[in-house]
Amino acid sequence: MLRRYPDVGEPLACEPITKGLLNHGYRVSTTRGSYFLKHHLDKKHIDDATGERATIVRQHRATQRLASLGVPVVPPLTDAEGTTVTVIGDRCYALHPWVDGLHRVGSQLTPHQSRRLGTLLGAVHTALEQVMPADGEPEPSDGPLPAGYGSPHAADTFALIDELLAVARGQRPRDSPRDAFDELAVHRLVERRALLERHAHRRPPTPDGPATGWVHGDFHPLNLLYRGADPVAIVDWDRLGVQPRAEEAVRAAAIFFVQPGGELDLAKVRAYARAYRRAAGAAGAELAAAVHRVWWERLNDFWILRWRYRLDDRRADPQFPAVSALAVWWTREYEAVCAAFAE
């Protein structure tokens, strides 16, 4: 791999990066410095992977353009042939400069830093609007822009709840005894079913038109690096795509500012959302509609339990207490959450 990059020096060490749930990356040390080697996963590894070469090239092109506008990104290096993607066998790789930095969750951010976070995401969205093709004008090798999408149906969620309850309550192999996680899962599943029965009439309508606006697609603490108080790099652009921009802003806040008990720090959310609206030129009504769609999405979502019980993958288990509590708290405090984002 490194032979394709004559300016990076001779390899000295290669260490896997352990943070993150889906990333396959390595810190490579050479005689000339440190680099991040990314293996772009394909559909053999995860269902929603974006490991096709043309898709990766689009991501790389986007980060190069964003960097020219001053957005803190880390574009890949170009190899001796002028390309940014290396294909070895059936796997795609890219080499990036190494960036020293730390991840920060919302509890580590001051109100001022929360505003800066909202401003940063707003700047990302407006910069993407400048560097990516306009709606209906896909770049070469891109497919058509996605149409408006519907929200989950409660009936489908009830069926999923029944399936997950059966496993969590003990219909499993004998070598997998029930534990405290399973007890909490049962409690949350029963609780969520009751909430959905009560609020099924509030399912958001399907949008009339297609989604508009390019977004990062996965903006959360593990994809943002800080040096001191300053964000220095937004990484992992694998899910770059066209989605409702305000929904990304709401989803990001729900990850950054969730507290261990499942509540959102609404003071910081308010500071973040006001800054985002100013930077992105988004109206309060747009944020309110996004809050409603993301709330309903969270109410119907059990991705952590699907990973555990369908895939026997427990990497996300530590997130479940706060994530599952958030859906309940958000339902109870719906009006206050809307106000924090939209006013």
How do the pLDDT tens digits run along the chain, 343 residues long?
889 999 999 999 999 987 755 568 899 999 999 999 999 876 544 444 456 888 899 999 999 999 999 999 999 999 999 999 998 888 899 999 999 999 999 999 999 999 999 999 999 999 999 999 865 444 544 444 444 578 999 999 999 999 999 999 986 655 567 889 999 999 999 999 999 999 999 999 888 776 678 999 999 999 999 999 899 999 999 999 999 999 999 999 999 999 999 999 999 999 999 999 999 999 999 999 999 999 999 999 999 999 999 999 999 999 999 999 999 999 999 999 999 999 9
Q: Is residue 17 within 8 Å of residue 38, measured between CB atoms?
A: no
Instruction: Report pTM.
Output: 0.90
Question: Domain spanning 101-148+199-340 has what CATH number?
Answer: 3.90.1200
Give the Å distances, CA to CA, from 205 to 19, 293, 296, 305.
Answer: 37, 9, 11, 27
Domain spans of the chain?
1-97, 101-148+199-340
Tokens of 200: 């099924």
**What's the confidence (pLDDT) of residue 147?**
47
Amino acid 334 reads Y
**What's the confidence (pLDDT) of residue 51?**
60
CATH class of 1-97: alpha beta
Q: Is residue 122 within 8 Å of residue 278, measured between CB atoms?
A: yes
